[in-house]
Each structure stands twice: as C-alpha cells, then as structure tokens.
Amino acid sequence: MGRSLEISFKDVSEMDMTVIDSGSLRNLCVDILIAEGFGQDVSTDIVDVLLEADLRGIPSHGVARLKRYIDERNAGHIKLNKTPSIEYETPLSAVVDGRGGPGQSVSKWAMNLAIEKAGNNLVGFVSVRNSNHYGITAYYSEMALEKDMIGIAMTNSYPLVVPTFGREAVLGTNPFSIAIPGSRHPFILDMATSVVTRGKLEVYDRLAKVIPEGWAVDSLGVDTNSPGEVLANFNNRRPGGILPLGGSGEEFGGHKGYGLSLLVDLVSAGLSFGSWSALTYREGVAGVCHFFGAMDLKLFGEPESMKQQIQSIIDGVVSSEKARGSEKIYYHGEKEELSRMYSLSKGVTLDPKTVRNLVALAERNNLQIPGQLLQ
Amino acid sequence: MGRSLEISFKDVSEMDMTVIDSGSLRNLCVDILIAEGFGQDVSTDIVDVLLEADLRGIPSHGVARLKRYIDERNAGHIKLNKTPSIEYETPLSAVVDGRGGPGQSVSKWAMNLAIEKAGNNLVGFVSVRNSNHYGITAYYSEMALEKDMIGIAMTNSYPLVVPTFGREAVLGTNPFSIAIPGSRHPFILDMATSVVTRGKLEVYDRLAKVIPEGWAVDSLGVDTNSPGEVLANFNNRRPGGILPLGGSGEEFGGHKGYGLSLLVDLVSAGLSFGSWSALTYREGVAGVCHFFGAMDLKLFGEPESMKQQIQSIIDGVVSSEKARGSEKIYYHGEKEELSRMYSLSKGVTLDPKTVRNLVALAERNNLQIPGQLLQ
C-alpha cells in the first residue's frame, strides 16, 4: 500500500484547462438553468451547491453536472413542478417525500427542517425518499454550523460498489458527512464509503494508467488493475465494481467500508421507506434517499467552551509529529477550505469538456458567453 | 492489497487451546472478581461483557482482560467506590462523569440512561468522561434493539493510531458501533476505525510473520512489515503506530479512517469535556470517554413495517452474486452471532496464557478451579 501509484491530478488539470471567476461562472450557470425552465429558485439552489464543489477542488460534483441534470430533467428523473411533502412527523423528526424534485432543492429544504426542529427541541432528524443527486454532502451538514449545531448528511446513490465477498455492484458510493463546530474552524468529514469514486477511475482510464489492487473488481469479483474494464462493466450492466473503503476481502478492513456503505443505505432508504441504492434509477425514477440531522451543542453544555474543547482536540492531532517526507497533518475540511480561498481569489478551473458543454448550453439558449470561456 | 498475507487465526487457536463451557467460565470469572473485591454488581457487569466477546470469537476483548482489569484497579485507574454522576442534563441528553469507575458498569448505566430518555422522548444521547476500558462496543449499541431503537456506542482509547501524514500515535483505535433492528435479525456494525487492532499485530509477532504494508508505520512514519518493531515502539513510547482504516497516505482512503477516528474522539471526549485519546492513561487516571445514543424507530414511522424495510435491504445485499471463490456475503453481526451459537453449544475456547492467568487468580483467592481448565 505504497505511494507508487499516486498520480497528481494537477497533471491532468494543467492540460488545456480554463480559468473563470466564480461570479461569472455562477451567473452563466443560473442563466442556463433558468433558460432551460428550471425557475429562479431551483436554479439558484442547484448552482450554489455545484459551484461550491468546484471552488473546493471537487470538479466531479461541480458545474460539470449541469448538462447531466438537464438531461435527467428531460428524462423525467428530475421533476420541476413538485415540492417536497412531509409524510410523517414528530417534534424531533420527519419523513419527507422529495416527489422527484431536484436533489439540491429537496435537500436544502429538508436540512433546514432538521435545523428548525433542532432550534426548537435541540435535535432534528429528517429522512428523505424519492429525491435526486444532491451534489457534495458537506454542503448540507455545514448548514448546521452557524447555529452551533452538529450537522449530519448522507445519501445513497447509483449502485457502483460491491459488498465484501460479492461481485455485484448493489451499493452506492454512499457518502456521509458530519460537521462539528470548533472555536476557530469546524471539523468537516465528508467521505464516500467506497475506497474511490467512479470519477477517479475515469481519470486513470483517460490517462491509460493502471489502478492499484484494492480499488475495484472485475465481473468475477476479482481484483483488477484495469479502470477501463470496470467502467465498461458499469456501462454494460455487467457485474463488477468499486470496492468499499478497506478494499477486497477483510485483510485491510473492507468489511468495515462495506458496513459503512450499507449503514448509509439503511439509514437513508430504511428510515424513509425509500429505494436502496440497487433500486435507484429504475423505470424513469431516480428514487435517491437522503438523511439529515442537526444536534444543538446545548445538548451537552455551554457551546462556547465546548467549541474550545473540540478545537483543542483538533489542534492536538494536527500539531503532532509529521511522517518523514510529510509537512502537514490536515484536519478534515481544511484542504477544501484552502482550495476555496484560492478559487475565490484566482478563479475556478474547468476542464475542456465542461467548457464545451457550458458553451453549447449557452448557445442553444442564446445566452452571452463569458469571454473567459472563449479563450 | 491481495489475499497473500491472510493468516487463518484457527492456526493459532488450535495449538494448546482449552475449551470450557460458558457457564463454568462465567461463574469462575465472577467469583474471581468478587474475591478481588469488585463486589457482586460490578463483577457481573464486567464478566457479562467480557464473556460476550469470547462467545463471539473476539478473545482480545474477552476474559483474557480480567487480569489486566485487576491490575488497573490496583494501579488506581479503575475505582470501585465511585458511581457515575450526571454533570449536565436535558430531557434528550446528559453528560456523565464516570468518576474512574469500571468501564462496563459506567457504560451500562449510561446506555440505559440514553435508552430511558429515548423511551420518554424518542431520542437519548449521553456523553461520558473519566471512565475506563469498556470491552466490546456492540454490547452497548445492542441494548437498544429490544426497544425497537437504533443503538449507538463509541469510545476513545489508549493512543495507538497515527493520523494521515503523521508518525505519532495520538489517536486510539476508537471503535464505534451502530445497531439497527430488522424484522428477522439486526444489523450490528462494530468497527475499530484503525485498519487493524494491536491484538492482530501481537498474533503476527508471535507467529514471526510479517505484516502487510498498509497496517502500521515505524517511528519515522514510514510503512513497516515488522509487527515486533511497532509493538516495541509502543512499549518504549517511541513514535510509530497502527494506521487508520484505509492505510497510509490518501491513495486507499487513509484520510477517511483518520477522520472516523478523530470523529470518535471529538464526539466522545469533545461532547463530554473529557480527555481525548492522547491524554488517556496519564498520571494514574485512565480518563476514557464514551458516547451512547438511542433513537426510537417511531421517529420515522411504524416500527414493524420499518424493520421489514430494513430487513429487505440487508436481504438484498447478502443475496447478491458472490465473488469467485466466495460462498457467502455476511451482514454485520452475523459472524459474531454464528460464533456465539457455536460457543454456547460447544464451549468457549481460551488460549494457554489466559488459562494460566485464570488458574493463578483462582489459586490466589482459594477458589475451586473447574476441571476443564486443568486438562
């Protein structure tokens, strides 16, 4: 499990990349969605979340998704004339039917409901069924931070991940996020429960690189070094897929990653009576399920001193001695924040395909194309 | 990340192992603790949890710990004349000071408090500081199941784990467990957030086997194949230690395991104003912190149909196609349940060192030694 196969993603991003200031990019994307009939509010919801991913250096969940969302609306997965409905409710919780609405709009609404309940009663949990892809998970967990609450968010997703000892991709990459406020900065864990995401396999495939053993299995459930084979199996709906965090078998804890992935499905789809990952994206229905939570720090004492206590733990870890060859131990959320600061000042970097798609979408809606995309 | 280094632990356990029926073992262990001055209630609390680990095939957390607990009582870490106190409380939550009491007694008490609160208000969360080693984490999460509640338990622990890009073991193996009721059986995830436990390194060391890259690092923070070196560094308080789930660096998601481990410390020590892992077991104080939660399924609807929904997801995963060479996909908690059924019928297997320690403890307290231990 060495460092030999590390590929700097900068190597990819420096080829033919376009840089655009985030304000211009945001306006263009909102205008495109409005022109495509998404309406002002939904367009803003979607672009806010997608752009946040680009700012943080997570382009797989950024505005590159805009075209896919429009396609999914056209295919009927994303429904624009529906608002979420509460199907069951207690003072501390709710089950929400997203009614096929855009994942970002449904999820902001549901997370706000969790926060509102926690504001009244210290705790709020909301399970959601029948929604769509919602973008980066941390966007929602972080919404709780400004209220001095712990935020929780998770989602199931298109099936790409094989359980330990299995060969069928029945689980999603099923990410979850927990955000905890500190006195100087928060701790924001946001992780796919798989060892890697599909996007990373696509990067290796484009570069014609092999993937290390422990990332994915072929159609027999055996470790493979070929990202192209895994992606082809996805496209042809053959067995095989990405491994859970911890890799294949149990030697490196793959059963733990499998457990985390199944946990996300049980909580999001189980507690909402929705579709688990294997049943999402079938017969014109996305059916994605989420789970959101907010827990007020006042559950456990005075928030200001608790945030100092939390900060002291984070500080203790990151100030411990570094490994040979390493200069820094990061806390979770730090890399994303550093990237965000950089992007806000220097602009957002887009790959050529994303630029082409945005230009085409702008052209078909007779929108003015920012000069930065035409250079 | 292949299967080449897998060692069957049966190879170890078949050498000179002793089998004893669980009832006799339980009585002996309770009698030893009572004779050592632990009192009836505490002795029963401790042995119930330890024996449950042996029954499930987790001897590292079993009655082998009995001698260590007695030593820790003698060293003043475990205090027997103290009961837990509630330092802060809301209808949904509490912060408990374990006052140095035995981890099992403190934790049963705290988890019952969480369950009681959830019984009254659907949700109960209890953070605990100043406790001791509590045994297997699933013991406590499972306590919620019979009430149709989701159970949550986690603990920080003696520092053995290095953060990503670090070389100092400042984090514990920090396990957490979530138990979710199903209609036929529960899902019980119980996992150390490290890739392996110290006990596994000890087994490899005894067998003079190398450990695979991705399990542990040396005092420079570099991957090592020598379990003996890692254990010697622990004993001499030099840097180095076990890696988080996902291994070293970020290629296999080691930053995710690091995040899970830090999360456990932030929740258990952060929300209880207690000692995080790096500060445990100092100056005669164990200071271990836990976190317990209970969430009634009625938060989200009618429990019976919800348990059927949960069961259908678990059934869907385990009935999916198997990898070549694999016969079964397990749900979490299944292997432990199978081992438990076997041990209850055929007896508990103990290694020679544990038998020697139990016999010595019985002798020094003039207790009758079961014949099964003398064969």
* Best residue of B313, B314, B319, B328 to probe chain A, by most A CBs closer than 10 Å: B313
Number of domains forming the structure of chain A: 1
pLDDT for the residue numbered B16: 83
Summarize the confidence of residues B106-117 as an average pLDDT: 98
The radius of gyration computed from the CA coordinates of chain B, to the nearest angstrom, equals 21
Q: How far is A155 from chain B (nearest CA, A)?
A: 15
Query: Which pLDDT tens digit goes with each residue over B339-352?
Result: 999 999 999 999 99
Contacts of A197 in chain B (CB under 8 A): none
Q: What is the DSSP string of A115-177?
A: HHHHHHHSEEEEEEEEE---S-THHHHGGGGGGTEEEEEEE--SS-BPPTTB-S--B----EE
The CATH number that applies at residue A203 is 3.30.60.50
**Residue keyed to tokens 């420096």:** A14
Residue closest to A290 by CA, chosen among A141, A88, A77, A119: A141
Contacts of A1 in chain B (CB under 8 A): 1, 212-214, 223, 247-248, 251-252
* Percent of chain B scoring above 70 in pLDDT: 96
Helix A254-265 × helix B303-318 angle, to 10°: 140
Query: Which pLDDT tens digit goes with each residue over B179-204?
Result: 999 999 999 999 999 999 998 999 89
Residue closest to A25 by CA, chosen among A340, A375, A371: A371
Q: Which residues contact A338 (CB under 8 A, 6 or more apart)?
A: none
Residue closest to A164 by CA, chosen among B192, B336, B193, B329: B329
Domain range holding B212?
196-242
Residue A277 falls within a domain, yes or no?
no
Residue A220 falls within a domain, yes or no?
yes
Angle, vertex CA B76, rays to CA B74 and CA B78, nearest 5: 90
pLDDT for the residue numbered B147: 98
For A97, phi then psi, to 5°, come to: -95, 115
Contacts of B180 in chain A (CB under 8 A): 263, 266-267, 270
User: Is residue B1 over pLDDT 80?
Assistant: no
Instruction: Closest CB to B310: pick one of A214, A270, A295.
Output: A270
Q: Report the distance separating Cα B370 and Cα B30, nearest Å.
A: 13
Residue B47 falls within a domain, yes or no?
no
pLDDT for the residue numbered A11: 45
Residue B371 falls within a domain, yes or no?
no
Q: How far is B189 from chain A (nearest CA, A)?
A: 6
Residue A228 falls within a domain, yes or no?
yes
pLDDT tens, position by position, for chain A (375 residues)? 333 333 344 444 456 899 999 999 999 999 999 999 999 999 999 999 999 999 999 999 999 999 999 999 999 999 998 899 999 999 999 999 999 999 999 999 999 999 999 999 999 999 999 999 999 999 999 999 999 999 999 999 999 999 999 999 999 999 999 999 999 999 999 999 999 999 899 989 989 999 999 999 999 999 999 999 999 999 999 999 999 999 999 999 999 999 999 999 999 999 999 999 999 999 889 999 999 999 999 999 999 999 999 999 999 999 999 999 999 999 999 999 999 999 999 999 999 999 999 999 999 999 999 999 997
* Best residue of B266, B295, B297 to probe chain A, by most A CBs closer than 10 Å: B266
Query: Which pLDDT tens digit goes with each residue over B124-147?
Result: 999 999 999 999 999 999 999 999
Helix A40-55 × helix A66-74 angle, to 10°: 140
Q: Using pLDDT thresholds of 50, 70 and 90, give the confidence band for residue B283.
A: confident
Question: Taking CB atoms and an 8 Å limit, are B309 and A196 in contact across chains?
Answer: no
Residue A222 falls within a domain, yes or no?
yes
Summarize the confidence of residues B102-118 as an average pLDDT: 98
Instruction: Closest CB to B271: pick one of A257, A270, A306.
Output: A306
Question: Taking CB atoms and an 8 Å limit, are A321 and B255 in contact across chains?
Answer: no
Residues 114-153 (A) with a CB less than 8 A from some CB of B: 121-123, 125, 127
Angle, vertex CA A97, rays to CA A125 and CA B183, nearest 5: 70
Residue B140 falls within a domain, yes or no?
no
pLDDT for the residue numbered B264: 98
Query: Which pLDDT tens digit goes with each residue over B349-365?
Result: 999 999 999 999 999 99
Q: How far is B303 from chain A (nearest CA, A)?
A: 10
pLDDT for the residue numbered B15: 65
pLDDT for the residue numbered A15: 65
Angle, vertex CA B8, rays to CA B7 and CA B13, nearest 5: 125
Residue B219 falls within a domain, yes or no?
yes
